[in-house]
């Protein structure tokens, strides 16, 4: 039997809307993956450019569904036949080993270590994306957090995660049966701000970021406020400050656990600039930075700084010692 057919099938699901400038580069990077048992699914949202035409050169599994990215992804999951799902954006360009280096490789390694008699197997996941799907937001959705947590419980003895995206679950102990550890990069961000930014005012871009903003502001000893967010869709957000605060000629520092599309931050930056902010810096633990988020934020006049839980161009804060210190305990 061909070795490739014995590998678990991975369904690569990409959501698109007028991505003709990016999609060919994306498809070529998927085609060049070292992991070959892939199923490529495109879920388009009424593109009027050449996106669908280009997609037909690479896959027959092309669907039209909306109204936004989360709905597209869920629809793609329903149409998939793979054992594992990998959700990607059309403006991504993958290095050849991305799929191999993702969850599948970790599970393979754990299974192999167990077979070879390892005494203890620990998973260190600096960024754990499945925490974002911790409930069924729409009918028929997969609660991917529950699915992946079961696999981790079976193959690992302990798990370490840096600043997990917890909202409906209070702790990691509510998610995993195995021993779990929640690490935080807050002290590293605090140290960076103290050294690099004068007269900061900390702003949380929404209520979900409240704990990050408040904790950092209290440690530094500066003012802070929270932006109240009204979300109309995954891409349309309106924001306002929750209290009066003097920001004229101050260096505004936005802090959140992650920056994904950056749409919330973009609206917040515009509002703060109108109120007289001198400089805006956006900090995040996890720099996902999809849909050209970094370029958009820079164009809006903000500097962006993240940790290196996810490698990216602005990952200036190193978390390696945080992990090493935790494992030594």
Residues 103-132: tens digit of each pLDDT: 677 888 888 998 899 999 999 999 887 776
CATH number, position 159 = 3.40.50.2020
Contacts 24+ apart (CB under 8 A), 265-272: 265/205, 265/297, 265/302, 266/296, 266/297, 266/300, 267/237, 267/238, 267/239, 268/203, 268/205, 268/227, 268/239, 269/297, 269/300, 269/301, 269/302, 270/300, 271/227, 271/239, 271/240, 271/241, 272/203, 272/247
Q: Which residues fall within 8 angstroms of residue 141, CB to CB, at 6 or more apart?
A: 74, 77, 133
Same domain, 42 and 135: no
pLDDT at position 300 is 92
For 241, phi and psi rounded to 5 degrees?
A: -75, 145
Same domain, 197 and 304: yes
pLDDT at position 254 is 92
What would the pLDDT profile of 267-312 be if each residue is shown by its tens digit? 888 888 877 787 899 999 999 888 788 999 999 999 999 999 988 8
pLDDT at position 229 is 63
pLDDT at position 96 is 79
Same domain, 216 and 301: yes
Domain boundary among 148, 167, 183: 183
Task: Look at the chain and report how many structural domains it folds into.
Answer: 3
The reply to whether 297 falls in a domain is yes
What would the pLDDT profile of 8-52 be if each residue is shown by its tens digit? 788 999 999 999 988 998 999 999 888 888 999 999 999 999 999
More confident residue, 238 or 56: 56
| Residues across the chain | 329
The reply to whether 254 falls in a domain is yes
Same domain, 125 and 59: no
Same domain, 116 and 16: no
Say how far apart CA 105 and CA 102 lie, in whole Å.
6
Nearest of 109, 152, 132, 127 to residue 319 by alpha carbon: 127
Average pLDDT over residues 151-172: 83
- Tell me what percent of the residues of the chain surpass a pLDDT of 90: 40
- Tell me what percent of the residues of the chain surpass a pLDDT of 70: 88
pLDDT at position 80 is 93
Same domain, 199 and 313: yes
The reply to whether 248 falls in a domain is yes
pLDDT at position 97 is 75
The reply to whether 325 falls in a domain is no
CATH number, position 90 = 3.90.550.10
Q: Which residues fall within 8 angstroms of residue 87, CB to CB, at 6 or more apart?
A: 13, 14, 15, 73, 76
> Is 90 exceeded by the pLDDT of residue 69?
no
More confident residue, 6 or 80: 80
More confident residue, 93 or 54: 54
Same domain, 131 and 40: no
Q: Are 270 and 254 in contact (CB under 8 A)?
A: no
pLDDT range class, residue 3, cuts 50, 70, 90: very low
Same domain, 158 and 198: no
> Is 70 exceeded by the pLDDT of residue 234?
no
Domain boundary among 69, 96, 123: 96
Q: Which residues fall within 8 angstroms of residue 296, CB to CB, at 6 or more apart?
A: 262, 266
pLDDT at position 40 is 96
> Is 90 exceeded by the pLDDT of residue 211?
no
Say how far apart CA 135 and CA 124 lie, in whole Å.
23
> Is 90 exceeded by the pLDDT of residue 224?
no
Candidate from 66-70, 222-226, 237-241, 271-275 with smallest mean pLDDT: 237-241
Q: Is 236 a catalytic residue?
A: no
pLDDT at position 4 is 41
The reply to whether 293 falls in a domain is yes
The reply to whether 327 falls in a domain is no
Domain holding 141, by residue range, is 103-183
The reply to whether 285 falls in a domain is yes
Which residue in 229, 248, 250, 279 is the catalytic one? 229
The reply to whether 167 falls in a domain is yes
Same domain, 125 and 157: yes
Say how far apart CA 307 and CA 284 lie, in whole Å.
7
Same domain, 259 and 153: no
What is the chain's mean pLDDT, rounded? 85
> Is 50 exceeded by the pLDDT of residue 167?
yes
Domain boundary among 61, 96, 131: 96
117 conformational bin, left if phi > 0, alpha if psi -120 to 50, beta if neither: left
| The model's pTM | 0.69
Same domain, 179 and 261: no
Say how far apart CA 184 and CA 162 lie, in whole Å.
5
Same domain, 50 and 123: no
DSSP 99: H
């Amino acid at each position: 039997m061909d070795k490739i057919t014995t590998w678990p099938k991975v369904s690569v699901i990409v959501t698109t809307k007028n991505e003709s400038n990016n999609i060919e580069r994306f498809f070529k990077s998927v085609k060049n993956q070292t992991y070959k048992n892939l199923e490529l699914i495109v879920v388009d949202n009424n593109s009027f450019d050449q996106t669908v035409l280009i997609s037909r050169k690479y896959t027959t599994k092309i669907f039209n569904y909306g109204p936004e990215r989360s709905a597209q992804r869920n629809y793609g999951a329903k149409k998939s036949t793979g054992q594992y799902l990998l959700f990607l954006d059309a403006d991504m360009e993958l290095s050849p080993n991305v799929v191999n280096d993702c969850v599948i490789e970790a599970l393979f390694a754990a299974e192999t270590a167990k077979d070879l008699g390892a005494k203890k197997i620990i998973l260190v996941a600096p960024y754990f994306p499945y925490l974002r799907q911790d409930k069924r937001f729409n009918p028929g959705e997969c609660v991917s957090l529950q699915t992946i947590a079961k696999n981790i419980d079976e193959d690992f003895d302990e798990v370490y995660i840096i600043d997990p995206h917890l909202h409906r679950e209070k702790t990691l102990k509510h998610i995993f049966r195995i021993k779990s550890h929640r690490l935080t990069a807050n002290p590293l961000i605090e140290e960076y701000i103290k050294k690099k930014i004068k007269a900061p005012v900390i702003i949380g871009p929404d209520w979900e970021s409240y704990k990050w903003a408040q904790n950092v502001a209290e440690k530094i000893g500066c003012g802070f406020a929270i932006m109240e967010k009204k979300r109309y869709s995954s891409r349309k957000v309106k924001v306002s400050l929750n209290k009066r605060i003097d920001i004229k000629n101050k260096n505004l520092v936005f802090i959140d656990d992650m920056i994904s599309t950056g749409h919330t931050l973009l609206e917040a930056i515009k509002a703060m600039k109108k109120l007289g902010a001198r400089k805006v810096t956006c900090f995040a633990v996890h720099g996902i930075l999809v849909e050209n988020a970094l370029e958009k934020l820079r164009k809006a006049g903000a500097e962006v700084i993240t940790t290196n839980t996810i490698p990216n161009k602005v990952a200036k804060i190193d978390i390696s010692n945080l992990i090493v210190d935790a494992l030594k305990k």
